[in-house]
Structure 1
Amino acid sequence: MDVLSRLRFRPRGNPRLPAAVVADDLDPRVAAVARAARPVTPDTRLGVVAEILRMGPYRAVPVVANERLVGMAGEGDVLAALLGTPDAAARARVRELPVRAVMAAPAPYATPGMRVSDVILLFDDARLDVLPVIDAHGVYLGLIARSDLVQDLVRPFRPPTVGGMATPLGVYLTTGAVSGGAGTSALLLLGLVMFLVHLLAVGVAQAGQNWLAGAFGPQISALPFAFRVAMDNLFVFVVQFALLLTLLRLSPIAGYHAAEHQVVHAMERAEPLLLDTVRAMPRVHPRCGTNLVAGMLILLGGGGLLSLFLDEWAYGVAFIAAITYWRTVGGWLQQHFTTRPATDAQLESGIRAARELLEHHGRAPYSPARPLARLWRMGFLQILGGFAAGYVLLLLLLYLSPGLRAAAGPWLESVVAF
C-alpha cells in the first residue's frame, strides 16, 4: 500500500461545522478539515491583527460583522501598510488604524459541503493559501488552509507542552528543550527565598510549640502519648503550611505565578501575546505544581488529623481523599493563595518569556534535548542549588558566630545539624 492510500483526514472538532465525513474518506468535505479560527471586527486595531498573524497558524485573519464575513486581512496587506510609513511615529499611528482600512473583500470562499479536491482548485485559481468557510446564509464558520490538508506534516512550530516557574525576578518558561524568560540567577534566587521561608516557618512553629507548652503544659501532659505526638506533628505542619501560603500570597512571586499561568494559557489557545489578551486568561492551570502540593496537604494534613481518631486507617483514608480531590483543592489554592492578579509589568514579563521561548523553539523545533540538558532547563537543579546555598551560608554564619549559635540553638534544631 503506497503512502497516499494510507492518508487519513481527522475531523477538527469544530462545533459550528457539521460532521459530514467518515474517517476513511480520502476526499473529505471541508467540514472535516476546517478550523474555527478566531475572527476580528472591522474596528480591531491593526497592531492586534499583526499579533494574531504572528501567533496563529494562518496567513490571513477573517473580519466579521454580525456573524457575516466582510473581509480578509492578509500578511501582505498588513506588511504593506506598515512598510509604507516614512518613520517610526507614522508606523505607530498605522498600528492604531482599524483593520477595515487594509482588509480585502473575500471573493473566493469554501462551503462546509465542498470536497477537499474542489478546494485545492480554488487555492490554485485564486493563488491563495487560506480561504474562509461560510454557510449558505453567509455566516462565517472558520478557515481552511493548504496546511490543514496535510495535517501534522505542515504546521506552525509550536511547543507541544510548555511548563514554567515564577521567580522573584520574573517568569521562566521551558519546553525541556528550550527556555525563555528569567534565567539561572532568578531560579537560584527562588531557591534561596524558599530556604529563608522554610527557616522562618520552622522558627514560627517552634515558637508556637514553646508557647503552647508553657501555657497548657499540664493539660497537654495529661493526654495519651500517641495523641500528643499526633497533635504536635499536625500543629507543626499546619503552622508551616499556613505561613508559607500567606507569605507567598503577599509576595510578588504570586503575581508572576499568575502571569506564568495566563501566558501559558494564551500560548496553548494560540491567542495573540498581547497584554489585554493575556490578562483575560484564567489564573488557574491544571498542570500547576500546586495541585501536587494540594495532594500532599490532603495526605499529610488529613492523615495527621484522622490519626487522632482512626489510628492505622488514617493515612489510607487520607490517600483516597488525596487522589480524589487533589485537583479541586489545588485549583482553589491557586485561585486564593499561590496566585494573585498580576500587574501589567508581571504580565509583560510573562509575554517576554513566551516570545523568547517561541523564538528559540522556532529555530530548532525538532532538536532533541539531552537528558541532562532537559533536567537543567526544567529549573529544579538551580532551585535546589539556591536552597543548598542558603543552608551552607547559615551553617557558615553559625560557625563564625558562636553567640548566635547558642542563642538560636533550639530555634534552628529542625533546620541544621550542629
Structure 2
Amino acid sequence: GKAIALTMLFTIGLAVGLFVLMPLLIAQGGVSLLFGEVDTGFESLLVHIFEGLIRVIVFVGYLALVSRSAEIGRVFRYHGAEHMTIHTLEAEQPLTVENVRKWPTAHPRCGTEFLVIFIIVSIVIFSLLAGVDLWVAILGRILLVPVIAAVSYEILKFGAARRETGLWRILFLPGIWVQKITTKQPDDSMIEVAICALQESLAANGETAPEGSWDPVREPIPDVGELAKEMEARLDAEEAAAEAEPKGEAVVAEADRSTAPADAPAPDAPAPDAPAPRAGGATEGA
C-alpha cells in the first residue's frame, strides 16, 4: 500500500514537473534572456506561446523516445489491438480476428486523445495567468491541473459521441495523429488477447459479445495463495540443492580417497637429468 502510494505520488510529480512546470521555466528563461525582464504584455504573450510549443514538443518527443523501446513497442501493439477490438464491438460485429483486423488502431476515446486535449485546454486556461509573477504562475499551474483534467475529460466524453461532425472531427485530429506513435499494428495473438480481455469485461458487467464471436478455451485461474506457496517451495528446494552441491562433491572426493588400496605403489619418480657435456665434447666420467 505504501509503496503504491509513493509510486503514484512520484509519477504524478514527475508528470507535473515535466509537462507543466518545465515548459514554463524554459519559456520564461528564454524570453528573459532575449528581452530582459518579462514585464510587458508582449513579452508575457511570447512566454505563453513558447510555453505551449515547448509543452507539445516535450510531450510528442517523450512518446517518440519511449516508443523506441522494444518492450514499449510491444505494449503499443497491444494498445492497437485493444482499440481495434473496441471498434468491432461498437460496430456490433462478431469479435473475431478477421473482423478486428479491418479496423484502425486509433480511437477517439483513447487516453492519448485525453492527453492531447489536456494540453490544448491547458494552453487556453494558462493564458489567464499570463503576466503574473513567476511563483504565482507556478502555483497556479499546479492548482489548475485537476481543473484542466476535469474539463478535458468532459470535452472528450462530449465530443466522442459527435466525432463525425466537422468541428469535433477537427478537434480530435491531433489526438488521432499522436496515436500513430502510441498504437501499432498487432499480430493475431495480440488481437486474440484483446478479444479475451473484452469478453471478460463484458461478462463482468453482465453483457455478452455479439453472436458469432470467437469463444476461446478458458482454463480456471489458479488460486493466488496456492501459486505463492508453490513458488516459495520451489525456491526453497533450489536453494537447498545449491547449498548441498559443494558438500556432495567433497563427500565423493573423500570417499574416493578412502577406498584407494593402502599398498598402492607410488608413482614412478622422474628420471634424473642427464649429465651436462664437458667442454670439448667429452662427457663427465669418460
TM over 0.5: no
Q: Which has the larger radius of gyration?
A: 2
- Greater relative contact order (CA < 8 Å, ≥ 6 in sequence): 2
> Normalized per residue, which structure has more helix?
2
Question: What is the TM-score normalised by the length of structure 2?
Answer: 0.41
The TM-score normalised by the length of structure 1 is 0.30
Whichever structure has more strand as a proportion of its residues is: 1
